């Protein structure tokens, strides 16, 4: 079945990624730290009360990966 093959391929890719992360726990730690900084920085601009004032610059900064990773 085609769907099962897609599922098995996805699971295999996740298993390989997990094995790589286990070899270098610092990598996942850095990723999670960057995610936390991005959430802290950008969650307020997407609150319903702020959306009417959301500027193009704020949204463009959100889309830039390097802006999400800044402390």
Q: Mind listing the pLDDT tens digit for each residue in 20-60?
A: 888 888 888 888 888 888 889 899 999 999 999 999 999 99
What digits encode the pLDDT tens for the residues 7-22? 999 999 999 988 988 8
Contact of 38 with 12, CB cutoff 8 Å: no
Question: What is the structure's pLDDT at 21?
Answer: 83
- Is residue 1 pLDDT above 60, yes or no? no
pTM of the model: 0.52
Spatial neighbors of 42 by CB under 8 A, at least 6 apart, are: 62, 68
User: Rounded distance, CA 55 to CA 47, Å?
Assistant: 13
Average pLDDT over residues 57-65: 89
């Amino acid at each position: 079945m085609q769907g099962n093959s897609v599922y098995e391929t996805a699971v295999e890719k996740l298993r390989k990624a997990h094995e790589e992360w286990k070899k270098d726990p610092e990598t996942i730690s850095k990723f999670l730290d960057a995610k936390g900084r991005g959430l802290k920085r950008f969650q307020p601009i997407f609150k319903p009360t702020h959306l009417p004032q959301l500027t193009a610059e704020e949204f463009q900064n959100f889309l830039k990966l390097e802006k999400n990773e800044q402390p």
